[in-house]
């Protein structure tokens, strides 16, 4: 019996050594990175829990292009501006795919804009971009809706009467209502039960993304489907948003405004009608519902997080806040409205907004891509279906590009004469063919919300508080810790 046990132990050891040597041989042409072990991949080296420097720390050892394994998923991480720009511009088509792990498939069902690929993605992205243009993105029509939401936010802040309050709920309500106006043609009252269910569902999905259970779900999806946990709440929340979108679609079909489309659903239904006899068309209600899901997921959460960081940073840096307010006051009378085009009159304000997005980038790393074919890069082999991770945080904090990368410094976006200057290293909305569809919408929202708020209030620390916490809650989205501030009405 003991001999048999010894034999089995030696056999198992030999098999593990053989597996190890086979792995080394099969990966000899792959990029540098730690050894991947069965099941856990390279998580033993990098850790399961995310940290703020999770994707930047390995650069010191492996260089600006390195590899990771999460279970069976092979990942190539690109770090720093020069590397990200060179690789993503050299292989625009090859690295334009979307990852198809278990949770991504659950999120998008390979439909919509963000989580689809190939012909489906091209058609959905096309209608997303063209509809935003038709709805007046960059013109007064969409700006009026954003201005209305901003004014509602100002009125809500006024009700606090200068007392400490948490701005997160009114901010998420305002930002989400912009997406509602764009998608459905109407906004909701903040206390609307269905509207709050929608916001809560989005919050659950965001909190789950990047968690321990998220990693386990990606690695062992079949097993996790049978186990309880926060992943089940996230899956339920996906369906809550999807059902909400489908109910709005049904309402639009009943009202039939296709002769004069007013919102994204109207424009999409019109396109479905035009493409009814096209056998290659992917315009259908399932893709429409997923597009709406994408607008909420990408549009609400990211803009909300930017604004929350903005209010925090402005409160912590009253000198910068006062310079912005002074510039706005000198450029506009108290009764004049400020449009997005007016940013040219406000170079310092524009620089501050860009600097806040740079320093407090809202994502941990950026949205992953997937290689659509085998690629030879810098002498290394990157197989088809490899996850490509452009680390946009490393770009925005690249010490080779930014004078003081870890500091809140609006001068990063100002020339010697105090004029605003664009920076090609400023890539919060991505790079290449998968660049964010809603980039222009987000830029308009952030500018209008912040200029309206800073005209109406000075943001101050509550009594007894020396500074708001600038460390993020580390997740897929990098939100600030909950905080309170005082909105003190400014003198007209």
The pLDDT value recorded for residue 28 is 56
* pLDDT tens digit sequence for 343-393: 999 999 999 999 999 999 999 888 889 999 999 888 888 899 999 999 999
pTM as predicted: 0.90
Q: How confident is the model at residue 48 (pLDDT cuts 50, 70, 90)?
A: confident
Give the three-class secondary structure for 380.
strand
d(CA 219, CA 239): 22
d(CA 388, CA 99): 9
Instruction: Copy the structure tokens of residue 301.
Output: 């959460």
Residue 436 annotated as part of some ligand binding site: yes
Least confident of 44-48, 191-195, 312-316, 451-455: 44-48
The pLDDT value recorded for residue 72 is 76
Closest CA to 295 of 141, 147, 131: 131
d(CA 181, CA 35): 50
Q: What share of the chain is helix, strand, coil (3-state, %, to 5)?
A: 55, 10, 35
Q: Are 485 and 465 in contact (CB under 8 A)?
A: no
Instruction: Copy the structure tokens of residue 310.
Output: 């903005």
d(CA 376, CA 87): 11
d(CA 250, CA 229): 33
* pLDDT tens digit sequence for 149-165: 999 999 999 999 999 99
């Amino acid at each position: 019996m003991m001999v048999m046990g010894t034999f089995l132990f030696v056999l198992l050891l030999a098999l593990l050594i053989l597996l190890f040597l086979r792995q080394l041989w099969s990966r000899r042409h792959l990029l540098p990175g730690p050894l991947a072990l069965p099941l856990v991949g390279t998580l033993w080296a990098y850790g399961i829990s995310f940290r703020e420097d999770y994707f930047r720390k390995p650069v010191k050892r492996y260089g600006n292009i390195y590899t990771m394994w999460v279970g069976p998923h092979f990942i190539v991480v690109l770090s720093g501006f020069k590397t990200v720009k060179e690789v993503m511009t050299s292989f625009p088509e090859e690295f334009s795919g979307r990852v198809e792990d278990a949770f991504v498939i659950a999120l998008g069902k390979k439909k919509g804009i963000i989580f689809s690929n190939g012909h489906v993605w091209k058609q959905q992205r096309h209608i997303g971009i063209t509809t935003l243009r038709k709805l007046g993105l960059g013109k007064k029509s969409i700006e009026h809706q954003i201005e209305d939401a901003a004014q509602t936010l100002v009125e809500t802040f006024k009700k606090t009467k200068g007392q400490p309050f948490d701005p997160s709920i009114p901010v998420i309500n305002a930002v989400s209502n912009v997406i509602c106006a764009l998608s459905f043609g109407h906004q909701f009252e903040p206390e609307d039960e269905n509207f709050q269910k929608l916001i809560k569902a989005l919050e659950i999905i965001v909190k789950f993304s990047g968690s321990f259970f998220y990693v386990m779900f990606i690695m062992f999806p079949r097993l996790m489907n049978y186990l309880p946990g926060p992943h089940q709440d996230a899956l339920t929340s996906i369906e809550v948003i999807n059902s909400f979108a489908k109910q709005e679609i049904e309402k639009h079909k009943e009202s039939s405004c296709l002769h004069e489309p007013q919102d994204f659903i109207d424009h999409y239904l019109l396109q479905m009608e035009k493409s009814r006899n096209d056998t290659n068309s992917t315009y259908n209600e399932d893709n429409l519902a997923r597009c709406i899901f994408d607008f909420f997921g990408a549009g609400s959460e990211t803009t909300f997080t930017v604004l929350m960081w903005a209010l925090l940073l402005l409160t912590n840096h009253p000198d910068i806040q006062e310079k912005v307010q002074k510039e706005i006051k000198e450029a506009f009378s108290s009764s004049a409205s400020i449009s997005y085009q007016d940013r040219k009159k406000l170079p310092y304000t524009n620089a501050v907004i860009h600097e806040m997005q740079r320093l407090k980038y809202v994502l941990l790393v950026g949205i992953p891509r997937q290689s659509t074919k085998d690629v030879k890069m810098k002498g290394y082999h990157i197989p088809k279906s490899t996850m490509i991770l452009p680390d946009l945080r490393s770009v925005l904090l690249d010490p080779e590009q930014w004078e003081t990368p870890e500091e809140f410094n609006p001068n990063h976006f100002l020339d010697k004469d105090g004029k605003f200057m664009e920076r090609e290293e400023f890539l919060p909305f991505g790079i290449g063919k998968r660049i964010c569809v809603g980039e222009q919408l987000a830029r308009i929202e952030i500018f209008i919300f912040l200029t309206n708020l800073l005209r109406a209030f000075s943001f101050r620390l509550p009594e007894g508080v020396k500074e708001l916490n600038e460390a993020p809650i580390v997740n897929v989205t990098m939100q600030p810790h909950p905080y309170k501030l005082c909105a003190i009405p400014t003198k007209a």
